[in-house]
């Protein structure tokens, strides 16, 4: 599987330059020839990292992008003026190391509050510029991830093949409204500037609908590059084929988002939280977010305890409009609550259902037509172990 290099005109490389103490790959380069239109979504954290600020500026200017430089092991966040200058200097170094026909975007992930080790990063940039990467791009962007998160898909549009690819990283500090998550999406279709609205809506329904631990990061980034190398222009397609592309992109992003939750630090289960029958979409999101972020819900799933009352409690404090007598709750496929009252449950059967690697919680609020889906995971002992010694 080629991930981000699957679409025509994209290549990528990765290397180990010494930012990470363990010697693993920590610098990656994604390139597009020809330069691509870029769409971006970023953290809503007020303490956004320097590379996030730089990316926002470049994308807002509307210029075509040819390179994305990524480092892992250091977030370049809470690093002040120096951090922003380091991000600019890394772009300058890349321009000197390789032909850059378009703009350069930068991303970082890792420890917050430590300056970038620029000597090491510059060595990595020189290696990447010569296309002598020692590892794949998706490996170079990982931190506590236990497996790479990659995806690709192709479809026929306008009588030609159109390809999409993607790579993401993330396992901890993951919360709706973006996460310690980097995601890079590529396609060889040409997309108009107006596609930004659809892109952001898809981000909202995928990467902004996952939670591992309820902590919002400083570096969250999702970038889509569309270079038009397939010769297909989205704007020229009939509506049915535009919708087919939208569905393919949404599916790709959803797969990458769920992979992050599956790889949640110490996680043993993927939990799908479906909220239907809400009065408004905002209410549906609020309930889904509250349940997904609840440590009590997450620890219950880890322990195999069918304590579904914790789900109702989270829904109750979510701020959404609720009428308990109209609410119905299904827990691991079993209806456990409706009409304001609990239903009899076979505890042995429920215990078996909770052993599954993928489980579902479904709340029907019964007062409207709005719905939303979140994905989360359980909390295990390993989450504490991983985050108790992250910097070491």
Q: Given a cut of 50, is residue 179 above it in pLDDT?
A: no
Query: Do 256 and 279 sit in the same domain of this protein?
Result: no
Domains in the chain, number: 2
Q: Could you read off the pLDDT of 292-321 as tens digits, one per residue?
A: 989 899 989 998 889 999 999 999 999 999
Query: Do 40 and 155 sit in the same domain of this protein?
Result: yes
Query: Do 239 and 110 sit in the same domain of this protein?
Result: yes
Query: Do 125 and 22 sit in the same domain of this protein?
Result: yes
**Summary mean pLDDT of the chain:** 91
Query: Do 246 and 294 sit in the same domain of this protein?
Result: no
Q: Given a cut of 50, is residue 175 above it in pLDDT?
A: no
Q: Given a cut of 50, is residue 176 above it in pLDDT?
A: no
C-alpha closest to that of 168 among 217, 207, 205: 207
Tell me the catalytic residues. Answer: 180
Share of the chain above pLDDT 90, in %: 75
Q: Could you read off the pLDDT of 282-298 as tens digits, one per residue?
A: 999 999 999 998 989 99
The last residue of one of the domains, among 242, 262, 282, is 262
Q: Extract the tokens encoding 291.
A: 């349940």
Query: Do 156 and 283 sit in the same domain of this protein?
Result: no
Looking at residue 386, its pLDDT comes to 58
Query: Do 32 and 134 sit in the same domain of this protein?
Result: yes
Query: Do 257 and 307 sit in the same domain of this protein?
Result: no
Query: Do 235 and 120 sit in the same domain of this protein?
Result: yes
Q: Which residues form the domain of 335?
A: 270-388
Q: Given a cut of 90, is residue 268 above it in pLDDT?
A: no
Average pLDDT over residues 384-388: 60
Asked if residue 36 lies in contact with residue 226, where contact means CB atoms within 8 angstroms, the answer is yes
Query: Do 160 and 104 sit in the same domain of this protein?
Result: yes
The last residue of one of the domains, among 240, 262, 284, is 262
Residue 388 pLDDT level (bands cut at 50, 70, 90): low
| CATH code (residue 323) | 3.10.20.340
Q: Given a cut of 60, is residue 213 above it in pLDDT?
A: no
Query: Do 195 and 107 sit in the same domain of this protein?
Result: yes
Residue 234 pLDDT level (bands cut at 50, 70, 90): very high
Query: Do 207 and 289 sit in the same domain of this protein?
Result: no
The last residue of one of the domains, among 210, 229, 262, is 262
Looking at residue 261, its pLDDT comes to 86
Looking at residue 196, its pLDDT comes to 97
| CATH code (residue 10) | 3.60.70.12
């Amino acid at each position: 599987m080629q991930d981000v290099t699957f679409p025509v005109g994209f290549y990528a490389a990765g290397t180990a330059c010494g930012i990470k103490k363990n010697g693993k790959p920590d610098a990656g380069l994604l390139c597009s020839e020809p330069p691509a239109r870029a769409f971006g979504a970023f953290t809503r954290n007020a303490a956004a990292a320097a590379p996030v600020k730089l990316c926002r500026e470049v994308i807002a200017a509307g210029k075509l992008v040819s390179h994305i430089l990524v480092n892992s092991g250091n977030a370049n966040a809470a690093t002040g003026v120096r951090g922003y200058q380091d991000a600019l200097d890394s772009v300058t170094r890349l321009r000197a190391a390789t032909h850059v026909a378009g703009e350069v975007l930068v991303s970082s992930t890792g420890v917050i509050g430590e300056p970038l080790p620029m000597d090491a990063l510059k060595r990595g940039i020189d290696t990447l510029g010569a296309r002598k990467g020692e590892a794949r791009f998706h490996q170079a962007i990982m931190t506590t991830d236990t497996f790479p998160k990659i995806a690709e898909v192709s479809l026929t549009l306008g009588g030609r093949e159109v390809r999409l690819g993607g790579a993401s990283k993330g396992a901890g500090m993951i919360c709706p409204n973006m996460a310690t998550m980097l995601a890079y999406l590529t396609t060889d279709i040409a997309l108009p500037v107006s596609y930004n609205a659809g892109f952001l809506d898809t981000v909202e329904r995928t990467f902004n609908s996952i939670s591992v631990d309820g902590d919002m990061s400083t570096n969250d980034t999702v970038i889509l590059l569309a270079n038009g190398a397939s010769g297909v222009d989205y704007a020229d397609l009939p509506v049915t084929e535009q919708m087919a592309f939208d569905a393919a992109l949404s599916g790709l992003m959803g797969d990458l988002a769920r992979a992050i939750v599956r790889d949640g630090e110490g996680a043993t289960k993927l939990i799908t939280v479906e909220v239907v029958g809400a009065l408004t979409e905002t209410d549906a999101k609020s309930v889904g977010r509250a349940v997904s972020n609840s440590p009590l819900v997450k620890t219950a799933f880890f322990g195999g305890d069918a304590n579904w009352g914790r789900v109702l409690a989270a829904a109750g404090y979510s701020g959404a409009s609720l009428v308990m007598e109209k609410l119905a709750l299904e827990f691991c496929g079993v209806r456990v609550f409706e009409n304001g009252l609990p239903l009899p449950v076979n505890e042995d059967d429920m215990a078996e259902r909770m052993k599954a690697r993928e489980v579902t919680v479904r709340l029907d609020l019964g007062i409207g037509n709005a719905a939303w889906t979140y994905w989360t995971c359980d909390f295990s002992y390993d989450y504490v172990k991983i985050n108790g010694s992250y910097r070491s």
